[in-house]
Amino acid sequence: MERSDFARLPRHVGIIMDGNGRWAKAHKLAVALGHRQGTENLREIIRHTDDLKIEALSLYAFSTENWRRSPDEVAALMQLILDYFASEIDELDEKHVRITILGDKSGLPEKQRATLLNAEDRTRHNDGLRLNIAINYGGRAELVRAARALAQRAAAGELRPEEIDEDRLAAELWTAGQPDVDLLIRTSGEMRLSNFLLWQCAYAEFVFPEELWPDFSVASYDRALQVYAARDRRFGGRNAQA
């Protein structure tokens, strides 16, 4: 479907790409292959987001809790980060996509950190889709970091505590300058936020498709966008008919 087919589109979509492990198990494959398959369909999802001229797409690739998985699985995900950027960065840059990493890069191995910094630097001046990839990310940690930055500025006398407001806090988040998440999609039927974009999802609509992430297609994405278009967003107020 194209932009004109939707009555309304979100400005910012967040996706929790869940179900790679179950997909691998169902296909009698190693879990690493589930994650690899999960990056394959990502290409089409990003292309479609770009074609629809949605402003921002945030993907949850690796949470701070994911370090608890087996060393083999963590290693596979770390390798996937390198492979993903090696194979996709040229096309993303050509399409003027601007990449931002959400999360603490300093907690990553050197190679991954360098790859992610390079992707951000190379696309920094692009004016197309904002592609946010959350890696070593936790929503609470993001808020703590923002609180600390504001406290430091207050302690240094640059900011009075009463001047701290929502805009100033939002400006300290990794998503600074971007719109809030309008639509949050989590695949595989799980209905949890799992510490993803806690602040940014304050008024998001949630859609929970049953497909496992590797099975999530452009058609599934269009269905989620149609559900969003049909929702009545009130932001705490009343709708016109009420």
Residues of this chain that bind ligand FPP (CB under 6 A) = 17-22, 35, 38-39, 42, 59, 61, 66, 80-81, 84, 133, 213
Least distance from ligand FPP to the Cβ atom of residue 135, Å: 7
Least distance from ligand FPP to the Cβ atom of residue 13, Å: 15
Least distance from ligand FPP to the Cβ atom of residue 205, Å: 21
Nearer to ligand FPP, 25 or 148 (CB): 25
DSSP string, the chain: --GGG-S---SEEEEE---HHHHHHHTT--HHHHHHHHHHHHHHHHHHHHHTT-SEEEEEEEEGGGGGS-HHHHHHHHHHHHHHHHHHHHHHHHTT-EEEEES-GGGS-HHHHHHHHHHHHHHTT--S-EEEEEEEE-HHHHHHHHHHHHHHHHHTTSS-GGG--HHHHHTTSTTTTSPPPSEEEE-TT----TTSSTTTTTT-EEE--SS-GGG--HHHHHHHHHHHHHS---TTS--TT-
Nearer to ligand FPP, 84 or 196 (CB): 84
Active-site entry in 20, 50, 51, 66: 66
118 labelled catalytic? no
Nearer to ligand FPP, 76 or 183 (CB): 76
Nearer to ligand FPP, 104 or 172 (CB): 104
18 labelled catalytic? yes
Least distance from ligand FPP to the Cβ atom of residue 20, Å: 4
Active-site entry in 18, 41, 136, 180: 18
Residue nearest to ligand FPP (CB): 21
Q: Please identify every residue annotated as catalytic.
A: 18, 66
